[in-house]
């Protein structure tokens, strides 16, 4: 059985690269999660998980992460990625991810609506939303990424 994460942070970054994969990797590095192995998870923040914006992840670690990203090779195109963490008063939280060909503001609005819907669907009271987002205008090959890494 895997342990339940106890800490998290929200992050977003964008970058260019010479290929789709290196653009993605460069965005990961700028987001402070480029030297770990991401284990993609769905969207539940465990109960009692503490927000730690200065969290440093050990290189090479297996890190449960909810993330969204978009890569484009269309010069001049605007791409964005956003994550939102909905926090309840006394139980688990909900994480939502979004990426698309839109502005940062549009991405944030989508995330806010998604978090509110997730809480309403569950019949839970939303106490707070933490958001991280980025917008990128593609030069050659660009990536916009937003993530919520979870840690022990």
pLDDT in tens, the chain (152 residues): 889 999 999 999 999 999 999 999 999 999 999 999 999 999 999 999 999 999 999 999 999 999 999 999 999 999 999 999 999 999 999 999 999 999 999 999 999 999 999 999 999 999 999 999 999 999 999 999 999 999 99
The rounded distance, in Å, linking the Cα atoms of 131 and 152 is 21
Determine whether 97 is an active site residue.
yes
The rounded distance, in Å, linking the Cα atoms of 114 and 120 is 10
Determine whether 43 is an active site residue.
yes
pLDDT score at 1: 81
CA-wise closest residue to 148 among 47, 52, 61: 52
Is residue 129 within 8 A of residue 117, CB to CB? The reply is no
Pseudo-torsion of CA 31, 34, 40, 44, nearest 10°?
-40
Catalytic residue among 97, 99, 108, 110: 97
> In this structure, which topology does domain 7-151 adopt according to CATH?
3.50.20
Determine whether 42 is an active site residue.
yes
Alpha helix segments (H runs only) across the chain: 20-30, 104-122
């Amino acid at each position: 059985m895997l342990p339940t994460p106890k800490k998290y942070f929200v992050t977003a970054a964008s970058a260019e690269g010479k290929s789709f994969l290196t653009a993605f990797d460069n965005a990961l590095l700028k987001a402070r999660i480029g030297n770990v192995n991401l284990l993609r998870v769905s969207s539940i923040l465990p109960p009692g998980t503490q927000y730690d914006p200065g969290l440093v992840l050990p290189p090479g670690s297996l890190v449960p992460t909810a993330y969204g990203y978009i890569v484009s090779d269309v010069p001049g195109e605007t791409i964005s990625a956003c994550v939102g963490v909905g926090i309840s008063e006394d139980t688990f939280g909900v994480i939502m991810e979004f990426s698309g060909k839109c502005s940062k503001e549009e991405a944030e609005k989508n995330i806010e609506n998604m978090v509110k819907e997730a809480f309403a669907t569950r019949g839970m009271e939303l106490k707070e939303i933490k958001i991280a987002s980025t917008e990128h205008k593609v030069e050659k090959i660009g990536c916009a990424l937003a993530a919520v890494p979870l840690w022990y």
